Amino acid sequence: MAAPSNAFWDHEGHFHTNALHWEGFPRLLWESLSLFHYTEPPQYDGVEYREEGVPRCRVKMTIPQHPFRSQWHSIEVEVVGYRLVDTIETAALEAIKLFCNQHPTEVAAYPIGLFPAIDSGNSEWNFRTEHLGHMLGELAEETVRSITRFMDVQYHYQILLLHSMGQLTSVAQSHYRNVDRQVTQIVELQALVTQKDEIIAARDETILHREDQINESNHIITQRDTVIEFLQAQIHDLILEADDAQAHLEELQQQPILPAAPVMPEEEEDPEEIEGVSEIDSEHEDPVLSPYHSSSSSQSSVGNFDDF
């Protein structure tokens, strides 16, 4: 459906309209202003945006300066709402209240003078409602018609508000579900972090235990290195001693071999056999052998012993 000629979007995304293409507070406001000889209807400037994930809109409207009453200054209204339609309605209703408050005497003779809504502390409104006789007679039908229209518009406005509140409630519930899900995720993450912390603490304890073992092993290695160094020193000393011994052996091997000394004859002992022979000879009175006796004669004489 094509947009009406009195509504358009500018290049900055703002919606401009006089809101006279539907029955509502903007039309009632303009019809009331027309009674006071205004020539231009109020203009509404609306823009939609999002605030913290929630759709919002801002509407600015202006009742222009009266064309020939210099004391009737322009009225500017700015309203923040949820949707453009209901926010424009709210801006028009706020403008009606401001206009009636600024010109209470002039509006007293017209149905718009019944606005704003009842307030027991407002003496001006009480005066207008208690003295409605001048509004009867020729204006009775128009008064009833206007009041009926205002009531109908108020009803439609309440429907718009109810619809907006329903949408706002849905958005709030959606945000609540998102927040609840995020809270659940946060709790799960906290439990996971706690579990990770426990694992890290266990690993830290294991690392400390391993470090103690490493320190102990390093101490043992240091002790063994000390023993190895000591043994290496001893081996070095033994190698030096072995080298000295080898050198000494080589020196001994290089010396000349001296001739063997002559063997001295051993002293003769008187054998018992000779003693025995001498005894025999002494018994048989063997003649004394002459030094000049030959070996053969001695052997024959010895052989003669068989005769005995």
Residues of the chain with pLDDT under 50: 1-3, 274, 277-278, 280, 282-284, 287-308
Is residue 211 in some structural domain?
no
**Distance in angstroms (rounded) separating the CA atoms of residues 295 and 11:** 170
Q: How many domains does the chain have?
A: 1
Is residue 217 in some structural domain?
no
Helix, strand, coil share of the chain (percent; to 5):
65, 10, 25
**Distance in angstroms (rounded) separating the CA atoms of residues 284 and 300:** 17
Is residue 197 in some structural domain?
no
Write down the pTM of the prediction.
0.49
The answer to whether 56 and 49 are in contact (CB under 8 A) is yes
Is residue 87 in some structural domain?
yes
Is residue 14 in some structural domain?
yes
Count the Cβ atoms, other than its own, within 10 Å of residue 265. 6
pLDDT of residue 24: 84
**Phi–psi pair at 86, nearest 5 degrees:** -70, -30
The answer to whether 25 and 55 are in contact (CB under 8 A) is no
Its sign, for the CA torsion 238, 243, 247, 253, is positive
pLDDT of residue 254: 82
pLDDT of residue 198: 92
What count of Cα atoms within 13 Å lies in the side-chain half-sphere of residue 128? 23
pLDDT tens-digit map of 215-226: 999 999 999 999
Domain that holds residue 138: 7-184
pLDDT tens-digit map of 236-252: 999 998 888 888 888 88
pLDDT of residue 102: 87
Is residue 70 in some structural domain?
yes
pLDDT of residue 55: 81
Structure tokens at 29: 């406001």
Is residue 82 in some structural domain?
yes
CATH of the domain at 152: 3.30.160.20
